[in-house]
């Protein structure tokens, strides 16, 4: 198989023959040969340069495409995280307020109950039909000597269950979605959750153990420190939501 040098020599020989020049080593022939090979060498170098330049551009284009994909992926992820945060924070705030209202009402020292003693039989039947008491509780209330006290104790645990459900709804949502809430806002939500729970447990303990006088330390903390913390959380929520959608004007 002819080598590249053989091919070049053959091209040079045919060229010289066409010009009527005798190929010989040395003299003018050597100079012509030098120029010929220089011309072909420059073309070869230029071809190689163009080939490598094209390969380099291809690699650069691939790298650019990978970079664009990475940036788009990061932007898409950031957008989704901000959207999730925008959904989670208002929902957590709403559930916290509902739990706070339910437990505040449940633990309040001032509780009002209907005066069952003064109800007629028809009135009492209609009232109990719309109450959350179980059937057996309604039957026991009818047979009770002190119907008012029986109702107070029976309805207490229904109110307790409602307050617990409100707290559970808020606390479970916070645990499941807290990863989308940045600190220190998340820490404040968690702190308020502890204050609510302590007030709830204290109040239930007072009733279950019939503690007299009633312990009110946790309930006072809810009405004092808890409400101050609630205002701080409200401000943080507003600041965070506005910062998520802030745009340069």
Q: Where are the domains of the chain?
A: 86-244
What is the full DSSP assignment across 134-194?
A: -HHHHHHHHH-SSHHHHHHHHHHHHHHHHHHHHHHHHHHHHHHHGGGS-TTHHHHHHHHHH
Which pLDDT value is given to residue 248? Answer: 42
pTM of the model: 0.69
pLDDT tens, position by position, 216-237 = 999 999 999 999 999 999 999 9
Which pLDDT value is given to residue 221? Answer: 97
All residue ranges of the chain with pLDDT < 50 are 19, 21-26, 247-249
Which pLDDT value is given to residue 216? Answer: 94
CA distance 40 to 94: 81
Which pLDDT value is given to residue 57? Answer: 74
195, with CB counted inside 10 A (0-12, 13-18, 19+), is buried
Which pLDDT value is given to residue 132? Answer: 93
pLDDT tens, position by position, 90-101 = 999 999 999 999
């Amino acid at each position: 198989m002819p080598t590249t040098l053989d091919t070049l020599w053959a091209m040079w020989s045919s060229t010289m023959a066409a010009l009527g020049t005798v190929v010989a080593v040395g003299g003018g022939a050597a100079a012509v040969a030098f120029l010929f090979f220089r011309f072909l060498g420059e073309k070869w170098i230029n071809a190689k340069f163009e080939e490598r330049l094209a390969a380099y551009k291809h690699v650069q284009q691939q790298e650019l495409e990978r970079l664009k994909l990475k940036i788009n992926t990061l932007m898409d992820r950031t957008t989704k995280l901000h959207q999730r945060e925008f959904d989670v924070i208002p929902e957590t705030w709403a559930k916290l307020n509902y739990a706070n209202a339910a437990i505040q009402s449940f633990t309040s020292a001032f509780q009002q109950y209907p005066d069952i003693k003064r109800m007629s039989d028809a009135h009492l039947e209609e009232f109990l039909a719309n109450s959350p008491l179980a059937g057996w509780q309604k039957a026991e209330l009818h047979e009770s000597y002190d119907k008012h006290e029986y109702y107070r104790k029976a309805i207490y645990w229904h109110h307790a269950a409602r307050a617990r459900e409100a707290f559970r709804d808020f606390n479970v949502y916070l645990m499941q979605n807290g990863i989308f809430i940045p600190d220190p806002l998340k820490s404040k939500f968690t702190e308020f959750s502890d204050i609510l729970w302590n007030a709830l447990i204290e109040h239930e303990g007072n009733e279950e153990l019939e503690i007299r006088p009633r312990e009110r330390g946790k309930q006072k903390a809810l009405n004092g420190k808890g409400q101050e913390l609630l205002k701080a959380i409200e401000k943080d929520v507003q600041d965070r939501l506005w910062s998520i959608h802030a745009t340069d004007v």
